[in-house]
Amino acid sequence: MVRTVMVTGATSGIGEATARAFAGEGANLIITGRRWDRLKALKKELEADHGVEVLALAFDIRDRKQCESAVDSISGDLATVDVLVNNAGLAAGLDHFEEGEVNDWEMMIDTNVKGLLYITRRIVPRMVAAGGGHVVNIGSIAGTQPYEKGAVYCASKHAVHALSQGMRIDLLGKGVKVTEIRPGMVETEFSLVRFHGDERRAGGVYDGVTPLTGEDVAEAVLWAIMQPPHVNIDEIVLTPLAQANAYYTFRQKEQPDAK
């Protein structure tokens, strides 16, 4: 099993579930996010429950200097990162392009694309120097299937898809694996963030559907990591049974009360 795993965006959802999954396998962890209180609580829990070492780093992944400073502060055995899970990401707004908020666009691009680049650029040279490692990028089915009112979010995930493929090519022969995980509907804080805290709109996204959970995606990440050294899982697409792709979702209507 890997010794050290770094998970970005570990304060909730897929990132938190992934940290828990790896801790359960005995891996030491570096967990990052902006919410220090959540990171601190997760660190305490995982160390107590699994006896692993957990380093919590609170910073804004959109800020290049903060990213570099945080990564450069990692020392000791944790400095050799075996697995990097680029999970930090978000959607902001759901509007037709001509009505989109530029601030939302910048937030998505800065987080989903630039933040991923900042962290990965700092970690991958360490993997190359160590002779191996594994980068897992959490993408989305939106990375190949743009949908109405999601142009910029989809563009950011298209970038993750292209970057994953490009990294795979550039890292050939250097012992570093690259995997992209592309989920469909996952019930996390994703929609709550997209709708700027509007719980009614966020909850409506999953009406009539049993969505994926963060744990479902974490299991896919863990499976990809657990493959033999000669096997690279290039990408995994996973969706709820009720969702065929970004365009077609079957929603179960509530049955009327019996008279």
Tokens at residue 214, please?
A: 């963060």
Is 153 in the active site?
yes
- What strands, in cross-sheet order, belong to the sheet with 133-138? 54-58, 28-33, 4-7, 83-86, 133-138, 176-183, 235-238
- Whose tokens are 């037709």? That residue is 96
d(CA 215, CA 24): 12
Task: Decide: 175 and 128 in contact? Cβ < 8 Å.
Answer: yes
Pairwise CA distance, residues 60 & 37, whole Å:
14
Q: Which of 147, 153, 247, 248 is catalytic?
A: 153
Residue 255: how many other CB atoms lie within 10 Å: 6
Contact 2, 82 (CB under 8 A): yes
Measure CA 107 to chain center. 16
Q: For the chain, how are helix, strand and coil distributed in percent, rounded to 5?
A: 45, 15, 40
Take residue 140 and report the two structure tokens written for it: 């989305």
**Catalytic residue annotation:** 153
